[in-house]
Amino acid sequence: MSNRYLFTSESVTEGHPDKVCDQISDTIIDTILAQDPHSRVAAEVVVNTGLVLITGEISTKANVNYINIARQKIAEIGYVDADNGFSANSASILVALDEQSPDIAQGVDSAQETRQESSDEMFDKIGAGDQGLMFGFACNETPEMMPLPISLAHRIARRLAAVRKTGELSYLRPDGKTQVSVAYEDGKPVGIDTILISTQHAPSIGDITDDAGILAKIKEDLWSKVVEPVFGDLELKPDSQTRYFVNPTGKFVVGGPQGDAGLTGRKIIVDTYGGYSRHGGGAFSGKDPTKVDRSAAYACRYVAKNIVAAGLAQKCEVQLSYAIGVAKPVSILVETFGTSTVDEQVLLELVQENFELRPAGIIHTFNLCNLPSERGGRFYQDVAAYGHFGRNDLDLPWERTDKAELLKAAASQKQPTAIA
**pLDDT score recorded for residue 107:** 47
Is residue 53 in a domain?
no
Angle at 230 between CA 225 and CA 236, to 5 degrees: 130
Active site residue 235: no
For 82-129, the pLDDT digits (tens) are 877 899 999 999 999 988 655 444 545 544 555 455 455 666 667 787
| pTM to 2 decimal places | 0.93
User: 390: closest CA among 85, 150, 120, 60?
Assistant: 150
For 325-334, the pLDDT digits (tens) are 888 999 999 9
Active site residue 99: no
CB 230 within 8 A of CB 252: no
Q: Number of C-alpha atoms within 13 angstroms, CB side, residue 141?
A: 26
Is residue 202 in a domain?
yes
Q: What percent of the chain has pLDDT over 70?
A: 92
Active site residue 291: yes
Active-site residue, from 76, 109, 221, 260: 260
Helix (H, G, I), strand (E, B) or coil at 366: helix
**pLDDT score recorded for residue 325:** 86
Instruction: Please report, in angstroms and rounded to a whole number, the separation of the first and last CA atoms in the chain.
Output: 30
Is residue 75 in a domain?
no
**pLDDT score recorded for residue 418:** 47
Is residue 61 in a domain?
no
Q: What percent of the chain has pLDDT over 90?
A: 85
> Which residue range(s) make up the domain with 212?
4-12+147-255
CB 27 within 8 A of CB 43: no
Active-site residue, from 22, 30, 44, 124: 44
**pLDDT score recorded for residue 402:** 97
User: 29: closest CA among 57, 3, 10?
Assistant: 57
Q: How confident is the model at residue 342 (pLDDT cuts 50, 70, 90)?
A: very high
Q: What are phi and psi of 360, to 5 degrees?
A: -65, -35
Is residue 295 in a domain?
no
Active site residue 252: yes
For 182-202, the pLDDT digits (tens) are 999 999 999 999 999 999 999
Active site residue 217: no
Q: What is the CATH number of the domain that holds 152?
A: 3.30.300.10
Active-site residue, from 73, 154, 173, 287: 287
For 277-314, the pLDDT digits (tens) are 999 999 999 999 999 999 999 999 999 999 999 999 99
Active site residue 293: yes
Is residue 264 in a domain?
no
Mean pLDDT of 264-270: 98
The whole-angstrom separation of Cα 312 and Cα 247 is: 43
Active site residue 19: yes
**pLDDT score recorded for residue 401:** 98
Active site residue 125: no
Mean pLDDT of 4-17: 98
Q: How confident is the model at residue 59 (pLDDT cuts 50, 70, 90)?
A: very high
Angle at 160 between CA 156 and CA 165, to 5 degrees: 145
Active site residue 287: yes
Is residue 169 in a domain?
yes
Supply the mean pLDDT for the chain. 92
Q: How confident is the model at residue 1 (pLDDT cuts 50, 70, 90)?
A: low
Is residue 332 in a domain?
no
Which DSSP category does 227 fall into?
Answer: I
Active site residue 16: yes
Q: CB neighbours of 196 closer than 8 A, spacing ≥ 6? A: 177, 178, 179, 180, 245, 246, 248
Active site residue 103: no
Active-site residue, from 261, 323, 404, 418: 261
Q: Does residue 420 register a pLDDT over 60? A: no
Q: CB neighbours of 65 closer than 8 A, spacing ≥ 6? A: none
**pLDDT score recorded for residue 117:** 54
Domain count, the chain: 1
For 128-155, the pLDDT digits (tens) are 878 899 999 999 999 999 999 999 999 9
Q: What are phi and psi of 303, to 5 degrees?
A: -65, -50
Integer CA distances (angstroms), 162 to 141, 144, 157, 178, 219, in order: 25, 21, 9, 14, 17
Active site residue 267: yes
